[in-house]
Amino acid sequence: MLKLYAYNIRQCDPKRCTARKLARFHLVTEFGYARRIPRGSLLLNPTAERVLSAGDKKFAARGITVIDCSWKKSDDIFLKIEKIRAEHRALPYLVASNPINFGKPFILSSVEALAATLYILGEGEHAALLLGKFKWGDTFWKLNRDLLDRYSEAEGSEEVLGIQAEYI
């Protein structure tokens, strides 16, 4: 299993925080300082220049980090993390199934982002384990399964962007 991390900025409601719930189940390692992000690991950053593809699995071997923050306050956070020495990747077009942002494209919760990343990297069982902790987890698969299957078969970022363009 790939090592998963959550850089938790602690801006969201603790009762609804998906990263905290995953940490309680020991499925992610949670921390509050950017300097703890493993160097050279895969860092999920929606402002990254490159989009995630199956070819990024080599970076995921060092860990996958999600930034858990409020989407309303995220711009400043993502600007600050650009200098972190990690492999920054944005997720392609996917639709949220979480109760707060249901149906909104690109506005995923931490667990949705991690599960999508794992699935694209060929770690479907690990992804299912994460989403299985949430009652709405099956809905994420129903909304995004076809796209995730296509993204996981793409050979590189350019091909993923081509698939994404068909849906936007």
Q: What digits encode the pLDDT tens for the residues 100-159? A: 999 999 999 999 999 999 999 999 999 999 999 999 999 999 999 999 999 999 989 999
Q: Enter the pTM of the model.
A: 0.92
What is the SS3 string spanning the chain?
CCCEEEEECCCCCCCCCHHHHHHHCCCCEEECCHHHCCCCCEEECCCCCCECCHHHHHHHCCCEEEEECCHHHHHHHHHHHCCCCCEEEECCCCECCCCCCCCCECCCCHHHHHHHHHHHCCCHHHHHHHHCCCCCHHHHHHHHHHHHHHHHHCCCHHHHHHHHHHHC
Looking at the chain, the whole-number percentage of residues with pLDDT higher than 70 is 90
- Structural domain count, the chain: 1
Average pLDDT of the segment spanning 86-91: 94
Query: For residues 107 and 101, what is the distance between their CA atoms, to the nearest angstrom?
Result: 7
The two tokens of residue 151 are 């993204």
Which residue is listed with tokens 């949705």? 112
Question: What whole-number distance in Å separates Cα of residue 56 and Cα of residue 25?
Answer: 26
Q: What is the pLDDT of residues 39-56, one digit of tens each?
A: 888 999 988 999 999 999
Residues of the domain holding 67: 4-167
Q: What's the confidence (pLDDT) of residue 94?
A: 98
